[in-house]
Structure 1
Amino acid sequence: MAERRRGQGRGSLARQLFVLQLVVLAVVVLAGAGLALLDARRDGQDSARDQVLGIAESLAAAPSTRTALAASDPAAQLQPVAEAVRRTSGVDFVVVMAPHRTRYSHPNPDLLGLPFEGTITPALAGQVFTEEYPGTLGPSIRAVTPVQNADGAVVGLVAVGITQEALGRQLVGQLPVFAVVVAVALAVATAGSLLLSRRLRRQTLGLRPDELRHTYVHHEAVLHAVGEGLVVVDPDHRVSLVNDEARRLLDLHEPDVRVDEMPDSLRELVRSGAEVTDELHLTGARVLLVSQVPATWEGRPLGTVLTLRDHTELQGVLGELDSVRGFAESLRSQAHESANRLHTVITMVELGRTDEAVAFATAELELSQHLVDRLVAAVGEPALAALLLGKVSQAAERGVALTVSEDTAVAADTGLDPRELVTLVGNLLDNACDAAVGATSAVDGEPWVEVSVRTEDGALVVTVADSGPGMSAAALTVATERGRSTKSGHAGLGLALVAQLVARHHGSVRAENSEVSVVTAVLPLGVRSR
């Protein structure tokens, strides 16, 4: 593992970006420094032009210059003044000449009296101009200004210049400053790139670009392929990841999912951050098995991970299994009771009381057989008949008298799924028996439940009355909206499962609490479930 991480570090995305940034920043800094040097050179030349032009105009406008030009020996007066101005101003030459180019001043005394090299035609026309010209001292930037008398006639010319070599020396003198600035800029750029590289290395875990791509591809493939719903919520309760199965189970269609869009029970679970395992939750059309665990990385909380498994079909099978199990328990109970009765009959025969034995056996047989025959004849769905028989025996064992009303009648071709019938009737009976246990009837003082299952006006009507304390319409609403249970099986979700089934068939469920507690569920027949 250590070798792998070292291999990752050598070509990691952070290192590659660091090198790339450093190269780019170095090029930018050096290019900027070169442009700054060119700009400094241009500024130096512009400053030199302004300087020589100002000196030339000042010297040409001085009355002493016109006076010296009119003297018999102009050089004797102009040479000392021109040299003093040159040394004071820092220029390389100050040349005063006659209109026919004869020099009266020059830094090199040997060139006095020789013709001036350069352009003078604009100056002879009374204009002031600057130019770059390779003169006797080398290439230079010079300004030429006419000297005019009171009548405006040109009596002489003044040329002041700075050589390119002198300008180069000035630029070279600025190089240390440029070097310091470039070094500081490179140091800052390197430090910034290094800090960014370290931060990026931590965020990418030192992975190379191809590893990041493979990780992302595998991550997406797993999320789309996994059979369980997966929802990842960050510490601020924002949904950061939802896979395809979770979108299907929760009926989510928008690209961005918020916690507020999740079912109520799941929203409460996510916001609580509690760690749970295999809780049953109800959505609008599904029963989900939900687990939630906190997610951490190196001790730092990253939020919670919610996993969802579809329990809808299994819940229906479990309901049907409950009915079969109840029927089996009923048979077991009846077998036990039959054994007791048989022993009683045998004992009575042994005692010679045969007539009483026959009467006893016949009465018990008729009582049990009457209920079975009536349910088999009235209820065309075997699963529902078995459920009702089983619930009668279960209720009897709990001390509850469960009776099936005489108007119970259900055809075999209702179009309803047998498992849905079992879920609907079974949960209503379980809820009624729970309410009746411990409560007493105002008539006989014993807990009782009465159920009626019939078709009426194109709908299946299930009415369950009990001797319990009753349930108001508001209490029924709360019970049917409950979408969460930590109990095993479907306990704790009975009325919520009933409400979910009724909603799928566009039916209704209501509670009445007048003289007795009554809950009625109505499912239209022939309406396709959602």
Structure 2
Amino acid sequence: MRLHTKLMLGIIIVIVVIGGIFGYSFKQIMESNLKNEMGSKALSVAQTVANIPEIQEAFETKDPATIIQPIAEKIRKQVGAEFIVIGNLDEIRYSHPNPIRLGQKMVGGDNSRVFKGESIISESTGTLGPSLRGKTPIFHNEEVIGVVSVGYLQTDIELKVAKIQKKIFVVTFLILIGGLLAALLISLNIKKAMFGLEPKEIAWMYQEKHAILESIHEGIIAIGTDGRITVVNETAHKILRVPNEVLLRGKRIEEVLENTKLLSVVQTGKAEYDQEMMIFDSVYLANRIPIHNKKGNVIGAVASLRNKSELAHLLQELSHVKAYAEGLRAQTHEYSNRLYTLLGLIQLGSYKEAIDFISHEVDVAQGFVQFLMKEIPDPILAGFILGKTSLASEWKVNFLVDRESSFKDIPVEMNRDSLVTIIGNLINNAFEAVRDNEKGEKNVTLFLTDLGKDLIIEVEDNGNGIESSKSDLIFREGYSTKNKKSNAGIGLSLIHREMEALGGTITYSSQIGEGTIFTVAIPKNRGSEK
């Protein structure tokens, strides 16, 4: 059964039940009030009749009925009572609507209290049927000499109640019709507001939306027109450094995050894309989009937040892939040249020279590989340095790894990608520095040591050096002395960012025309925190 049908049936049942309870309760109240009113009226009339002197004096005559009957009937007709019966202490009637019953004994059996001097209202059955009676004693010289009973038949009271009940039924019916119309309008409005969806569908969509929001790697924050947060996902909690159990929904956005500009998006209705904003000590790229209803009115805004450093990490990964590719290409090119040399020696018949050439190359290669395997046992770093050696050979750079190097004591938890980024960019910068060196040899030396509490990485080149006026600029992203290079200005900024993450330091010394030495120190205990 659909929701709007359930709503209509539910509202109809409620209205019918309430209408029935209302009708029954109102009937009982009206019947009770009418009985009280008629009983009080009967008693009041009875007391008035009992105080008439002629009635009291008539009890002293031989035939009281001749005096009392005309007076009682006249008053009965004036007040609209069904009967006014007056009797003596023996309950002998002196008045009755039916003259035939004069002199007969009163019926009902409810005079005992009256003869004791009490005035009462009672319900009893007499010769005319069930009636509501008001009874009061007649006093003479402070003694009870008789009783006056004024009554209204129950059937007359029920007729009056029936007339009132018809009116109640008409009112209840009109309420029911109004309720049906209201139920129809309410169900249609609810159906329209819910876009015709059923509660199960809405619940499923809510769960789906929640799952989607939590699966998104970006932080999502949405607000209403009043600036209060309506949606916030788990990633946004992490960005804001607020535990998940702390409820942010309902709070004003400026209380949680300053300078979001979401309120301005709500006011202007204009979206903003890829805007940088600082949250704590990190830079985020924010997209802010207004939320519109069907009429095109802005009803809120939503912002997505992504850490800009993730893009830097992606660039790092691309740089690593490029470095590996360049190393493989360099090795391919280098060994192609050696194969051509070997082929030439064989064709010339210089077999001894060919054998010596092969032996020399094997000794050199094996010796260097064995050195790397022994002193730099980490396969990622050793393989990366070996690739840089091949690249240096292609670029005609004398790349030397200091044989005093040792890089064995690297914390297991330390990120190897960070070390590759640091070493790789230092070597690349050194290669670039000596590549255009016109003063003879192009020398680059790498020294690694793990002695003490720090990992030390030192790269020396004999390039042109760095001017002292640029010492504050070289670590800035985008700045480079190699203006024509496509990736210029990235390497040192990446190293600087990694140093901040690892808790390390980077220093350099340089002399114009002599070369530059970059020195990196990474604490072993801090390196594991990344």
Measured against the shorter chain, the TM-score band is 0.5 to 0.7
Picking from 115, 120, 126, the partner of 2:117 is 126
* Identical aligned residues as a percent: 20
By how many angstroms is 1:459 displaced? 1.2
- Give the total of aligned pairs: 453
Aligned CA distance change for structure 1 residues 209 and 268 (closer, same or farther; 3 Å): closer
Matches within 5 A, 1:453-468: 454-455=449-450, 457-461=452-456, 466-467=466-467
Corresponding position: 1:423 with 2:411: no
By how many angstroms is 1:192 displaced? 3.5
* In 2: Cα distance, 1:134 partner to 1:511 partner: 119
SS at structure 1 position matched to 2:223: coil
Aligned CA distance change for structure 1 residues 311 and 33 (closer, same or farther; 3 Å): farther
Corresponding position: 1:34 with 2:24: yes
Matches within 5 A, 1:430-469: 454-455=449-450, 457-461=452-456, 466-467=466-467, 469=470
Picking from 31, 34, 58, the partner of 1:44 is 34
Q: Which residue of 2 aligns with 1:363?
A: none
Aligned CA distance change for structure 1 residues 391 and 334 (closer, same or farther; 3 Å): closer
Picking from 126, 131, 134, the partner of 1:140 is 131
Corresponding position: 1:114 with 2:104: yes
By how many angstroms is 1:429 displaced? 8.4
Picking from 407, 410, 415, the partner of 1:414 is 410
Question: Is the CA contact (8 Å cut-off) linking 1:288 and 1:308 kept in structure 2?
Answer: yes
SS at structure 2 position matched to 1:127: coil
If the length of structure 2 is used for normalisation, what is the TM-score? 0.64
Question: Is the CA contact (8 Å cut-off) linking 1:323 and 1:390 kept in structure 2?
Answer: no
By how many angstroms is 1:153 displaced? 2.2
SS at structure 1 position matched to 2:113: helix
Please tell me the residue identity of whatever aligns with 2:470.
Answer: P
By how many angstroms is 1:164 displaced? 0.8
Question: Is the CA contact (8 Å cut-off) linking 1:235 and 1:303 kept in structure 2?
Answer: yes
Q: Deviations for 1:197-242, whole angstroms, at most 9, x for unmatched residues?
A: 123212433234555566566x279649x96447654333625263
Q: Which residue of 1 aligns with 2:529?
A: 529
Q: Deviations for 1:137-174, whole angstroms, at most 9, x for unmatched residues?
A: 22101122111111x32211100111111111221232
By how many angstroms is 1:52 displaced? 1.4
Matches within 5 A, 1:300-319: 303-304=301-302, 306=304, 317-319=317-319
* In 1: Cα distance, 2:315 partner to 2:116 partner: 112
Matches within 5 A, 1:501-520: 502-503=500-501, 505=502, 507-509=503-505
Q: Which residue of 1 aligns with 2:439?
A: none
By how many angstroms is 1:108 displaced? 2.4
* In 2: Cα distance, 1:185 partner to 1:513 partner: 94
Question: Is the CA contact (8 Å cut-off) linking 1:146 and 1:157 kept in structure 2?
Answer: yes
Matches within 5 A, 1:81-480: 81-118=71-108, 119-150=110-141, 152-209=142-199, 211-212=201-202, 219=208, 223=212, 228-229=216-217, 232-236=220-224, 238=229, 240=231, 242=233, 254-255=244-245, 258=248, 268=260, 274=271, 276=273, 298=294, 299=296, 303-304=301-302, 306=304, 317-325=317-325, 327=327, 380=376, 381-382=381-382, 385=385, 409=405, 411-415=407-411, 416-425=414-423, 454-455=449-450, 457-461=452-456, 466-467=466-467, 469-471=470-472
Q: Deviations for 1:356-409, whole angstroms, at most 9, x for unmatched residues?
A: xxxxxxxxxxxxx9xxx9xx8898433563687799999x9xxxx9x9998994
Please tell me the residue identity of whatever aligns with 2:323.
Answer: S
Aligned CA distance change for structure 1 residues 276 and 57 (closer, same or farther; 3 Å): same
Q: Which residue of 2 aligns with 1:55?
A: 45
* In 1: Cα distance, 2:44 partner to 2:403 partner: 124
SS at structure 1 position matched to 2:231: strand
Question: Is the CA contact (8 Å cut-off) linking 1:282 and 1:496 kept in structure 2?
Answer: no
Q: Deviations for 1:405-457, whole angstroms, at most 9, x for unmatched residues?
A: 989945255244432212345567899999x9xxxxxxxxxxxx999865453
Q: Which residue of 2 aligns with 1:349?
A: none
Gapped regions of structure 2 (runs ≥ 5): 338-363, 434-443, 460-464, 478-485
Question: Is the CA contact (8 Å cut-off) linking 2:330 and 2:393 kept in structure 1?
Answer: yes
Question: Is the CA contact (8 Å cut-off) linking 2:84 and 2:150 kept in structure 1?
Answer: yes
SS at structure 1 position matched to 2:48: helix
Question: Is the CA contact (8 Å cut-off) linking 2:84 and 2:95 kept in structure 1?
Answer: yes
* In 1: Cα distance, 2:170 partner to 2:495 partner: 79
* In 1: Cα distance, 2:153 partner to 2:300 partner: 71
Question: Is the CA contact (8 Å cut-off) linking 1:232 and 1:239 kept in structure 2?
Answer: no
Please tell me the residue identity of whatever aligns with 1:17.
Answer: L
Question: Is the CA contact (8 Å cut-off) linking 1:79 and 1:104 kept in structure 2?
Answer: yes
Corresponding position: 1:25 with 2:15: yes
* In 1: Cα distance, 2:26 partner to 2:488 partner: 80
SS at structure 1 position matched to 2:85: strand
* In 2: Cα distance, 1:194 partner to 1:523 partner: 74
* In 2: Cα distance, 1:199 partner to 1:291 partner: 35
Please tell me the residue identity of whatever aligns with 1:528.
Answer: S
SS at structure 1 position matched to 2:91: coil
Please tell me the residue identity of whatever aligns with 2:452.
Answer: D
Corresponding position: 1:66 with 2:74: no
SS at structure 2 position matched to 1:235: strand
Aligned CA distance change for structure 1 residues 124 and 280 (closer, same or farther; 3 Å): closer
Please tell me the residue identity of whatever aligns with 1:423.
Answer: T
Please tell me the residue identity of whatever aligns with 1:414.
Answer: I
Please tell me the residue identity of whatever aligns with 1:58.
Answer: T
Larger RCO, structures 1/2 (Cα 8 Å, 6+ apart): 1
By how many angstroms is 1:68 displaced? 2.5
Question: Is the CA contact (8 Å cut-off) linking 2:93 and 2:104 kept in structure 1?
Answer: yes
Give the superposed CA RMSD.
5.9
Q: More displaced, 184-193 or 58-67?
A: 184-193
